[in-house]
């Protein structure tokens, strides 16, 4: 993916605007470095934006005590994190869906509600496609997404948020009363182990959830308003972690319900 396309897709600015922004903050290299690592902007990209060689960019940050080489792009074909993961388990294709809902479950509505709590920058970092576009070609393949249900899609924030919202909504709409009761009973009985993150208990809980969410509900019990609430608050809480460290999966919001 061309640097100009990456910058436009992820920040909505031109190369000239990106250069002006960087040069206006050149006296605060830590700020630029942290933004670059957060948004997966490589030293090659920074060099192209500013007109310097990537090695000069890396040397600049290294001179200020940062690891400039950490900004180097991963080799093409490097295996990265899959998007569709719940507590380490792959989400079945049958649950995966783009957000085609309207009203309070539309992407625009959920986007606005979460950004009001997190700010646009943290939101964009959490929904960045860069960690999954391991071939750096601006396209998310089935292997990069971790699903064959959607084909190939543009590597953009809009793609990631649509997959996230659509999949989580579909999962919640698949739950009926008996499944909710069973999951609630298990969570209550094993509250201490779940709170401590016991691997065996968490694996069992996730397996139960994915099984319940993989079959359509005879009579869905969650209203659109309840689903929106179940997405917005947990997602806002997770976004700071996802955006800053990449240590969480956005789909862990399902564990917060």
> Mind listing the pLDDT tens digit of every residue in the chain (257 residues)?
678 887 887 778 899 999 999 999 999 999 999 888 777 788 999 999 999 999 999 999 999 999 888 888 765 544 455 678 776 778 888 899 999 999 999 999 999 999 999 998 888 888 888 888 877 778 888 888 888 889 999 988 899 999 999 999 999 999 999 999 999 999 999 999 988 888 889 889 989 998 988 888 888 889 999 999 999 988 888 886 654 434 456 777 677 65
Question: Tokens standing for 196?
Answer: 């401590």
Query: CA angle, corner 87, sides to 82 and 93, nearest 5?
Result: 55
pLDDT score of 245: 37
pLDDT score of 241: 65
What is the sign, positive or negative, of the torsion defined by CA atoms of 26, 60, 16, 122? Answer: negative
Query: CA angle, corner 167, sides to 180 and 249, nearest 5?
Result: 90
What's the CA dihedral at 166, 172, 176, 182 to 10 degrees? 140
Question: Tokens standing for 229?
Answer: 């609430």
Beta bridge partners of 139: 154
pLDDT score of 253: 67
- How far apart (Å, rounded) are the C-alpha atoms in residues 27 and 22? 10
Question: Tokens standing for 231?
Answer: 């997405």
* DSSP collapsed to 3 states, the chain: CCHHHHHHHHHCCCHHHHHHHHHHCCCCHHHHHHHHHHHCCCHHHHHHHHCCCHHHHHHHHHHCCCCHHHHCCCCCCCCCCCCCEECCEECCHHHCCCCCCCHHHCHHHHHHHHHHHHCHHHHHHHCCCCCCCCCCCCEECHHHHCCCCCCCEECCHHHHHHHHHHHHHHHHHCCCHHHHHHHHHHHHHCHHHHHCCCHHHHHHHHHHHHHHHCCCCCCCCCCHHHHHHHHHHHHHHHHHHHHHHCCCCHHHHHHHC
The distance of Cα 20 from the centroid of its chain, to the nearest Å, equals 28
The distance of Cα 222 from the centroid of its chain, to the nearest Å, equals 24
Contact yes or no for 159/144 (Cβ under 8 A): no
Sequence length of the chain is: 257
Question: Tokens standing for 203?
Answer: 């694996």
pLDDT score of 242: 57
pLDDT score of 39: 74
pLDDT score of 247: 44
Question: Tokens standing for 95?
Answer: 């649950």
- How far apart (Å, rounded) are the C-alpha atoms in residues 161 and 72? 26
């Amino acid at each position: 993916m061309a640097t100009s396309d990456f910058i436009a897709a992820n920040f909505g600015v031109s190369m000239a605007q990106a250069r002006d922004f960087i040069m206006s903050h050149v006296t605060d290299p830590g700020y630029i470095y942290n933004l670059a690592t957060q948004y997966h902007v490589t030293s090659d990209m920074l060099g192209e934006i500013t007109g310097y060689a990537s090695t000069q960019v890396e040397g600049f940050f290294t001179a200020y005590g940062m690891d400039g080489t950490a900004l180097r792009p991963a080799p093409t074909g490097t295996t990265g994190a899959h998007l569709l993961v719940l507590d380490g388990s792959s989400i079945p294709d049958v649950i995966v869906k783009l957000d085609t809902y309207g009203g309070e479950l539309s992407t625009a509505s959920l986007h606005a509600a979460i950004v009001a709590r997190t700010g646009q920058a943290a939101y964009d970092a959490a929904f960045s496609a860069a960690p999954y576009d391991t071939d750096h070609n601006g396209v998310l393949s089935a292997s990069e997404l971790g699903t064959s249900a959607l084909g190939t899609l543009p590597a953009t924030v809009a793609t990631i948020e649509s997959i996230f919202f659509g999949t989580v909504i579909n999962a919640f709409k698949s739950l009926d009363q008996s499944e909710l009761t069973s999951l609630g009973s298990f969570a209550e009985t094993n509250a201490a182990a779940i709170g401590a993150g016991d691997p065996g208990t968490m694996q069992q809980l996730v397996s139960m959830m994915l099984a319940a969410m993989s079959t359509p509900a005879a009579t869905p019990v969650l209203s659109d308003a309840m689903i929106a609430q179940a997405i917005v608050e947990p997602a806002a809480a997770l976004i700071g972690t996802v955006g800053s460290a990449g240590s969480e999966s956005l789909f862990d919001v399902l564990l917060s319900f």
